[in-house]
Amino acid sequence: MADSILINGKIHDWTDVAIQLGGEPYTGITSINWSSKKEKELQYAAGSAPHGIGYGHRSYTCDFTLTRKASEEFETIANAVGKDALDYAPFLITVAYADKKADPQGVITQVWNVMKRIEIHDVDVTDISESLDEGTKKIVRKYTAVAGKVIAK
C-alpha cells in the first residue's frame, strides 16, 4: 500500500492550507496565487539568428481572495482612518500545509513535522476588486499585489 494518500487527486486538500497575512491568520481566504517572472530577451547581432539571451529583472506578483466578512476584518485598521488595503505597508503572506500519509495501521494522518511553506515577502496591494453575478453563493473581494520575493521552504 502506498504511504501517500490522494485526496481529490492530490496529496493535500484545501482544508489543509493555513494562510497568514502579516501576523493574523485569515480563515476566510478562498484562493491565493503567486508567480515569479524574470525578463529574458533574445539578443541579435549580424544576421537574422539570435546570438544570445539578455536577462532583466525578476518580478513577483500574487493575488488572493477573501470572503466579504474576512475582507472587512483584514481592512479594519485601514477603514478606521478612512482608507483601505491599498494603504497598508508591505506585509508577509505565509502559506503552509502538510501532506496526508498512512501510518503503519493504515490510518490517514497529516504529517505536521514535514510542513510545506511558501513565504511571499513584501506584499503590497495594488488593486482591489469585487463583483457579483446572478449565480453568486458568496461575496468575495480579490486583492492583487506586487511582492518582493517568493521563497519555498
Q: For residue 123, what pLDDT is reported?
A: 93
Q: Whole-angstrom Cα distance, residue 97 to residue 115?
A: 6
How far apart are alpha carbons 49 and 42 in whole angstroms? 9
**pLDDT, tens only, 96-149:** 777 777 777 777 776 666 677 889 999 999 999 987 767 777 788 999 999 999
**Over the stretch 53-108, which tens digit does the pLDDT of each residue have?**
999 999 999 999 888 888 888 888 889 999 999 999 998 888 877 777 777 777 77
Would you state the pLDDT for residue 4? 52
- Res. 1: pLDDT tops 50: no
Contact 113, 124 (CB under 8 A): no
pLDDT at 113: 65
The CATH number linked to 57 is 2.30.110
Structural domain boundaries enclosing 142: 14-152
Contact 67, 138 (CB under 8 A): yes
Residue 3 forms part of a structural domain? no
pTM of the model: 0.76
Residues 6 or more apart whose CB falls under 8 angstroms from that of 37 comprise 58, 59, 60, 61
**Domains in the chain, number:** 1
